[in-house]
Structure 1
C-alpha cells in the first residue's frame, strides 16, 4: 500500500464507496450519520488551507513575473481561454440536447415549483472585485476579492523593487508551509473520497436517477466530448503535450473534484499536480488555477445548455436558433457574473431560463439529480483550469518539459 500511487488509492476509495453506497441504499441514514462526517472532516481540512494558500501563492506568482505588463498579458490570455472554452462548451451541450431530444417523453410532476436566488448583475460583480475591506474578504473567503487583493499586493512589491524582497520572501515561505500541510492532508484523501461518495450513492438510488437517466447521460457525454475535443486539442496545439499524458497528470484532481463537487476544495491538488506532473511553473499555476476555480465553468456551461433544451422540450416550448444563440451568450457572460456566488450553477441556469423565456419552475425537476450532475460538471471545470494553465505556461515559455522526459524514462 505504501508503494501504491495516490491516484490508485483514491480510485480504490471511490470504488469501495460506490459499492457500500449501493449496499446501504435501503438505510441511507447509516451513510449520512456514520460515514459522511469523516468526509466532512476531510473537506474541512482542505478548506482550512484554501484561503491562505490562494492568497500567498498568488502574491508570490505575481512577484515572480517581475513585470506588471507580463502580469496583465497572462491575465488577458487566461480570461480569453476561459471565455472561449465556456462558449464552446455550451454549444456542445445545445447540439447534443437537440440531437438526442433530451426531454422527449418526460412527464412534468404536478408539484414542480422552484425559487431561485437573485443573480447579481455583471457590473455589480465587476465593481465588487476590488474589496473595500480586504480582511473581510479573507475571512468570508470571497475568492474574486482575494485574487484582486493578492495581485495588487504582488504588483506593489514589484513596484518597489529591492525593498519588497523581504515581504516576498515571507509570502514565499508561507506558501511553502501551506504546500507541506496539503501534502500531509492528502495522505487521507482515499478515506475522504470513500466517506464522501458513499452517502451520495446511498441517497441517490435508482428511484431518483432512472426517470432522469437520459438527461444525466447527455450531460456526461457532453462533458466527456468537451474534454476530449477542447482540452486535448488545446494542450496538443499550444503545448505539444500528448492528451493521454495531460489527463494522466491531472487525474488525481479530476477524481477528487468528481467526489467532492468542489473546485475550491480541489485547488490545492490541482496546483500540485500541474506543477509536478505537467511541468507548469509555480507563477503560472498560482495565477491561472485560483482564477479558474472562481470564473471558469465549462462543465456548468454544458449543464446549462442541456438543461435549457430539456426544460423547453418537456414544457413544449420551441427554442429557435436565435434563442439558442442567446443562451450561449448569456451563459458565457454569466460564468463571470456569478463568479464566487454560492450555488452559482443553479443561479446561472435561472438566468439562462429567464433570458429566453423558459419557466424557472423547471429547475425543480432537475434538482433531485443535481448532485450527480454537479460532480461531473465540477470535474470538467477543474480539468479546464489545468488545461488553461498548461496552455498559458507554454505560450509564456514556462513549461518544464523535463517533467515529461522523466516520465518517459521511468517507463
Structure 2
C-alpha cells in the first residue's frame, strides 16, 4: 500500500481507525481496573508498534497527532494554576523561614550536583565511543543558529513584571517566583497576626484540593495521549534518518542509562537507603510519561501524584521540590547532552579538546542549567552556551537536529526522575518520608480509571 494508491486523507483515516481500535483496548483495560502504570507502559508499546506499522505503510498520522496534541494542551491548561497554588500551599505550611531556606539549599544543591555528575558521565562515554568518528559534516541548509541571550538577560526575563500576562503566556518561572513572594508574605504576616491571613490560607488549601481533582480528570487521558505521541514519533522517523547518527543516539542513551542506574540508583540505595528496584517500580509512571511527552512541565502533575502517593513523601516536600525541579533540574538536557554534543562536534571538525576544556564543559553545564530555567528548548540553549564557551562551531548543532527529538525522550525521562529522586532525598533528610509504608509496598492507586 503506497500513498499513490490511497490519498493522504484516506491514509489519515486508516491510521486513525487502527488507533481507535487500540485506544478502545486501553479504555477496556481501564474499565477492568488494570493499574494506571501498567496501562501507560502498554500504551507505550502499542504506540511504538502502531507507529512502525504506519511508517511501513506510509500512512499519514495527522489525526493520531491531534489526540496527542489535545492531551498536551490539557496538561498545559493545568500547569500554571497548579504551580502557583502548590508552591504557595507548600510554603504556608512551613512557618519557619529558616527551614524553608534549608529546603531550598538542599533541593538546588542536589539538582546542580547531579547535573555536574551527568556532564562528567556524558563526557566519559562520548570520549570512549567517539560518536563523531568518520562522520561527514553536512549542516542542513535551512539551519539557523539560535541566538543566545546573555546570562543577565535570561535572569531579567525570569523576574515577574506582570504575573497575569506571564501566566497567560505560559511562563512558569515568573509565576513560580511571584508565588514564592506571596507565600513568604503570608507566612510573615501570619507570624504577627494569624487571623488576618486565615481566609487566604483557607482559600489556597481549598483551591489545592480542587486542582488535585482537576489533575485526576486530566491524567485519565494519559494512556491515550502516550499512545498517540509515541505512534506519531515512531511513524515519523525511518532508518534512513537514523542511520548516520545511530552511534550518537547510542552514546547518548548509554550515558543517560549509566546516570540513571549508577547516580540515581546509588543515591536511592546508599543515601535514602531505599531498595532501588522498589523505587523504580513506584516511579515508572513518571518515567513513562516524561519519556513520551518530552516535557518536564507536562510530567509535573503525574510526578506529584507519584511522589506523594507511591513514594510516600509528604505533600509539603513534594509541592516544593517538584515544581522547582520542572523549572531547573536538567540532568539530561543540561548535563549529559551538552557534554556528548561537545565531544561529537569537536570530533566532526577535528578540533582537539584539552583537560581544561573538559573541566569548562562540566562547569558551564552546571551554570547554564541555572541560567536557562524556564527558557523554551533548554537543551538547545544549554548546548549552545557550552559550545560557545569552549570555542566550538555552533554549526555543529545542526548536525544533530534530525535525531534530537528521539534523544530528548530519554533526556526528559532522566530530568523528571532526577526531580523524583531529589524529593525522596530531601524528604528523607527532613523526616518527611514514610519509610514503613514504602517498604510495606503500600501505595494509593492513582484513581485514574474512568467512572
Aligned match of 2:404: 370
Residue matched to 2:145: 116
State the Cα distance separating 1:44 from its structure 2 match.
0.8
Deviations, residues 194-213 of structure 1 (Å, cap 9, x unaligned): 11111111111111112111
Quote the residue 2:230 is aligned against: 197
Instruction: Show structure 1 runs of 5+ residues with no match.
Output: none
Higher mean alpha-carbon deviation, 46-55 vs 105-114, is at: 105-114
Q: State how far apart, in whole Å, the 2-side matches of 1:185 and 1:127 are.
A: 33
For the residues of structure 2 that align with 1:200 and 1:409, how far apart are their CA atoms? 32
Q: 1:28 to 1:35 in 2, by over 3 A?
A: farther
Give the ranges of 4+ consecutive aligned residues of structure 1 lying more than 4 Å apart after TM superposition: 26-29, 110-113
Q: Which has more radius of gyration?
A: 2
Give the corresponding residue for 2:318.
285
Rounded Cα–Cα distance in structure 1 between residues aligned with 2:211 and 2:237: 35
| Matched residue SS, 1:368 | helix
Which whole-Å deviations, capped at 9, do the CAs of 1:131-165 have from their partners, x for residues lacking one?
Answer: 12222222222222111111111111111221212
Distance 1:401 1:51, change over 3 A: same
Does the 8 Å CA contact 1:289/1:385 hold for their aligned counterparts? yes
Q: After the TM superposition, which residues 251-270 of structure 1 pair with which residues of structure 2 at under 5 Å, given as runs?
A: 251-270=284-303
1:11 aligns with 2:45: no
Q: Tell me, in whole angstroms, the C-alpha distance in 2 between the residues paired with 1:111 and 1:10.
A: 36
Aligned partners of 2:115 and 2:330 also within 8 Å: yes
Q: Is the 8 A contact 2:139 2:398 kept in 1?
A: no
Aligned-pair Cα RMSD in Å: 1.7
Give yes or no for the alignment of 1:396 onto 2:430: yes
2:386 to 343, 352, 359: 352
Q: Which moved more, 1:377-386 or 1:178-187?
A: 178-187
Q: Residue 290 of structure 1: CA displacement?
A: 0.8
CA shift at 1:112, angstroms?
A: 6.0
After TM superposition, the score normalised by the length of structure 1 is 0.96
Trace 1:50-89 onto structure 2 (pairs within 5 A). 50-89=79-118
**Secondary structure of the structure 2 residue equivalent to 1:103:** coil
SS of the equivalent of 2:400 reads helix
How far apart are the structure 2 equivalents of 1:348 and 1:128?
A: 16
User: Is 1:381 equivalent to 2:386 in the alignment?
Assistant: no
Evaluate the alpha carbon distance shift between residue 306 and residue 79 of structure 1 in structure 2; reply closer, same or farther with a 3 A threshold.
Answer: same
In 2, distance between residues paired with 1:23 and 1:386?
34
Query: Take 2:437 and 2:58, find their aligned partners in 1: how far apart are those partners?
Result: 44
* 8 Å CA contact retained: 1:116, 1:347: no
Following TM superposition, by how much is the alpha carbon of 1:309 offset from its aligned partner in structure 2, in angstroms? Answer: 0.4
1:141-190 C-alpha deviation (Å, 9 max, x unpaired): 22221111111111111112212122112111111111111112222211
| Deviation of the 1:338 alpha carbon | 1.1
Asked if 1:229 is matched to 2:241, the reply is no
Seen in structure 2, the aligned counterparts of structure 1 residues 69 and 29 have a Cα distance that, compared at 3 Å, is farther
Alpha-carbon separation, structure 2, partners of 1:172 and 1:408: 26
3-state SS of the aligned residue for 2:134?
Answer: coil
Count of aligned residue pairs for this structure pair: 409
Q: Is the 8 A contact 1:120 1:337 kept in 2?
A: no
Equivalents in 2 of 1:25, 1:385: separation in Å? 35
Give per-residue Cα distances to partners, 1:72-107, cap 9 Å, x unaligned.
Answer: 111111111111100100000000000111211211
Structure 2: stretches of 5+ with no match in the other structure: 1-28, 445-451
Determine if contact 1:238/1:395 at 8 Å carries over to the other structure: no
The alpha-carbon distance between structure 1 residues 223 and 409, as it changes in their structure 2 partners (threshold 3 A), is closer
- Residue 155 of structure 1 aligns with which residue? 184
* TM-score, with structure 2 as normaliser: 0.87
1:206 maps to which residue? 239
Q: How many Å separate the matches in 2 of 1:409 and 1:168?
A: 28
CA shift in 2, pair 1:408/1:266, >3 Å? closer
Give the whole-Å Cα distance in 1 for the aligned partners of 2:317 and 2:58.
43
The Cα of 1:114 is off from its aligned counterpart by: 3.3
CA distance in 2 between partners of 1:269 and 1:172 (Å): 20
- Kindly state the Cα deviation for residue 246 of structure 1 after the two structures are TM-superposed: 1.6
Deviation, 1:216, is: 0.5
Contact residue 93 and residue 306 of structure 1 kept, 8 A: yes
